Structure 1
Amino acid sequence: MFDNWVPINAKTVARWFVNHADRDAGEAITQLKLQKLVYYADAWFLANFNKPLVTENFEAWAHGPAIRSLYAKYRNHGWEALPREKGSHPDSNVAGFLEAVYDEYGQFSAKALERMTHDEDPWRRARGGLSPEAASNTVIPKLDIRNYYAAKIGKEEIKKLQD
């Protein structure tokens, strides 16, 4: 299904999550929650297909994995729910994958997702010995992310991601 996959811009994935939230049911996506949803989508895509979903790298920020361009786009919203957006959407195969990620992680609050990423090795290793609140722009290697999540589904460690 994703043999010829070419990674897409994180903003396209983010837009899908923002627009997917069921506002009528009280769901809201804040910038913090959005960063974690995009992270988990990329992590599980890496684990399942040995290639990244998004082109950008995540950095090990104090509040968990974050993509700088997403922060720049949404930072003016602070802790408020993000409004619906217009623009391109991922194809239906990717949308089905994102739906599965949302079903698993969308139920959690932004702070719960932050705590979850803080308990996981990729973020912790990238942070090194930094205190939890210290600033950092260290990239979390996609290979580390892939191997951590792939191990959760019984896959072997790899040394290189697919092109």
Structure 2
Amino acid sequence: MPAPTTAAAVANAFLNLQDADRGTFPRIDPMKLQKLLFYAQAWWLAYKEPALFDEEIYAWPWGPVVPSIYSEFRNFGSQPIVGKRATELIKTGDRIYDFRVVAPTAPPGDVLDFLSMVWGSHKHLTGIQLSNATHAPGEPWAIVKDRYGTLNNKPPIPNDLIRDVFKEKIGVGNTNTTAA
């Protein structure tokens, strides 16, 4: 069964949720966006299957990263993302250059409701605070770092590991996450 949405669509949903929110909170910068993507995938995996989006999440030195979204927003550095949304490259034909850049389809309503809950739970944190949380002992990023010893190769964080750690947080199952 395919994932219900894409990482680009989730990124745009968070940026749209931020724009609609009249509260006071740290704005979404590239680091915060990456961590929101991670937590959305993690909580989705804890409650549902298949994954929220198919793109892999990698263990980079500053925490979990979806490379395509990193590439899309890296020029913002540590500044808030303003006036830009993620895009997707879609194959349009059989030739090597048959691609075009498009805006992703918005996630379905139930996914948007879920993302709104994730936003509500995490919006008050900065990207650095969210990154620090992903580095805590027993978190998927920390388990991958402990396993590899270095993140120079930016290894993927397996969805099974993410799912098991977050299922344990909600008290579902008794999993062994150290064998990842």
TM-score by length of 2: 0.77
Superposed structure 1 runs of 4+ greater than 6 Å apart: none
Match of 1:125 among 128, 140, 143: 143
Kindly, what percent of the aligned residue pairs are identical?
31
Q: Report the AA paired with residue 6 of structure 1.
A: A
TM superposition shift of 1:93: 0.7
Answer yes or no: is the 8 Å Cα contact 2:46–2:164 preserved in 1: yes
Count of aligned residue pairs for this structure pair = 154
Greater share of residues in strand: 2
Q: Unaligned regions of 5+ residues in structure 2, if any? A: 86-102
TM-score by length of 1: 0.85
1:21-59 CA deviation, whole Å, 9 max, x = no partner? 147545410000000001000000000013210111110
Change (3 A) 1:54 1:90: same
TM superposition shift of 1:18: 1.1
Q: Report the AA paired with residue 30 of structure 1.
A: D
Q: Unaligned regions of 5+ residues in structure 1, if any? A: none
Match of 2:18 among 7, 10, 21: 21
CA distance in 2, matches of 1:157, 1:16: 33
1:82-123 CA deviation, whole Å, 9 max, x = no partner? 124464321111110001001111111111000000004210
Match in the other structure for 1:59: 58
Match in the other structure for 1:78: 77
Change (3 A) 1:10 1:97: same
Give RMSD over aligned pairs. Answer: 2.2
CA distance in 1, matches of 2:35, 2:153: 17
Answer yes or no: is the 8 Å Cα contact 2:63–2:141 preserved in 1: yes
